[in-house]
Amino acid sequence: MHDASSPPVRLETISDFLASGILCCRHDANLTITYANRSFYRMLQYQPGEIQSLLGGGTGGVLRDTSAADWDALGDELRQGGFADHTLKLYPKDGHHIWVSARIGLMRPEEARGEEYFCMVLNDITQERRSQKLQQEQLEAIRRAESELAESEQRYRIIMEQAADPIFDYDLKTKRVYCSPSFRQRFDFEINGGNYFEKLRNTDFIYEEDRPRALANLSAALHDGRDTHIGEYRLKTKCGRYCWHRVRGTIVRSDGNGSVRLIVFFTDTDKQKRETLRLREQAERDLLTGLYNHVTTTELIDKAILESSPEQRHALFVIDIDNFKTVNDKLGHLYGDEVLEEIALKLKEQFREEDVVGRIGGDEFVVFLKNIPSQKILSLKSRILNDLFRGTQSDGKVVCPFSCSVGVALYPRDGRNYHELFHKADIAMYAAKRSGKDRFRFYSEDLETIEE
């Protein structure tokens, strides 16, 4: 449990945990740094406080390829309001430049007495640019070789053999397939002969959940007239593991604008993708219990309702722990947190992966049960919830009994969105508390007439 009297976490402390560089500097001749988080210094290989400005020091500073005049012009642009997105070339301590995407805003705090500050969020895109440049160089080389194919087919093959990233080349006229050595080293997939589209559909090379999207994009690449399609999919590697890859398919056309070749580049993005998914998952979850937090719970339930057909039936359970304040008061908040973690684990075990289980307050939980087959199932689940929470907690000296009160509202009878269903289920839950706690009640209109 969180203590409301504890001091809030400082914003600077939070920013130090971000992967992005956060920077604030004065709009002066040297772009004097007034604040930077640890990610900014790590990005540039400096220790915090080791550099004081972006344009000063060294042989031109961290931003040696720009001038104060450039930033004056940017300041004029930003005074009109909003933000600007720029790609900046920065020079870390080792002297080798990196590229960053920068989201830049201009601030003029009242207490700054007229001074202006550039505030930036920076992300290192060096690898991405280098990969794009390499792919572009490879594609240009392939195109040059294609134009000379009548002269030297061997030259084209040599270029393909030397490509760093895996490449798949499909001749749309002859139906011949060529896979670069790096493709064969990474993937155990052969599609020589026959219909390659059907082979992709009927094998496990593309992860099952990604396969429809990948095939749709492949079909679009061949038919909608665009030269380049980019997607990100999980592909099966030789070791049998699915890894995320950015797949860039390019159509090479003849002088008559007809498609003659499909060339596909594969870039391994597994590490970055999994980290992105991990951070997204972390943002959606309650930090203590691992259940969905209030915001995500609301969004998922409303999304499930929006996608429901008229004949589907769902139920929302609102669960409030009885006497939980006594557990906290007598056994302490840390002990109370352990109880909440244990309850959350039991809740996840009792419901399907497709159901939504969330913690929306200190000792309040909700469960959205999808596609209920009968009222009997709802009563059974409600009893299970009461049994799940019923018990005592003790530190060996003090014994604290506790249980839960459950209110249930039905979709679409009691509401057609999360807010309406929660309001009705909450009324039913308080009715259960008034009638003795440790029980469940289904919402009905007569409950609203009962005085507190």
Q: Where are the domains of the chain?
A: 11-124, 129-273, 285-449
pLDDT over 50 at 6, yes or no: no
Give percent above pLDDT 70 in the chain. Answer: 84
- Say which range, 119-128, 134-143, 348-357, has the weakest mean pLDDT: 134-143
Architecture in CATH of 285-449: 2-Layer Sandwich (3.30)
pLDDT over 80 at 320, yes or no: yes
- Say which range, 9-18, 60-69, 92-101, 350-359, has the weakest mean pLDDT: 9-18
pLDDT over 90 at 418, yes or no: yes
For residue 2, what pLDDT is reported? 42
Could you check whether 129-273 and 285-449 share the same CATH topology? Answer: no
**Cβ burial, residue 309 (10 Å; 0-12/13-18/19+):** exposed
157 or 98, greater pLDDT: 98
For residue 368, what pLDDT is reported? 95
For residue 337, what pLDDT is reported? 85
pLDDT over 60 at 321, yes or no: yes
Average pLDDT score over residue span 171-175: 77
Model-level pTM? 0.47
For residue 91, what pLDDT is reported? 92
Give percent above pLDDT 90 in the chain. Answer: 26
pLDDT tens digits, one per residue of 338-373: 888 888 888 888 888 889 999 988 889 999 999 988
For residue 316, what pLDDT is reported? 95
Q: Which CATH class is domain 129-273?
A: alpha beta
Number of neighbours of residue 266 by Cβ within 10 angstroms: 20
pLDDT over 60 at 7, yes or no: no
pLDDT over 90 at 118, yes or no: yes
Q: Which CATH class is domain 11-124?
A: alpha beta
For residue 396, what pLDDT is reported? 55
Where does the pLDDT of residue 452 fall: very low under 50, low under 70, confident under 90, or very high at 90 and above? very low
Average pLDDT score over residue span 124-129: 88
pLDDT over 50 at 223, yes or no: yes
For residue 143, what pLDDT is reported? 72
pLDDT over 80 at 413, yes or no: yes
Average pLDDT score over residue span 382-389: 86
For residue 92, what pLDDT is reported? 92
pLDDT tens digits, one per residue of 53-65: 998 776 668 988 8
- Say which range, 178-187, 254-263, 437-446, has the weakest mean pLDDT: 254-263
pLDDT mean across residues, the chain: 82
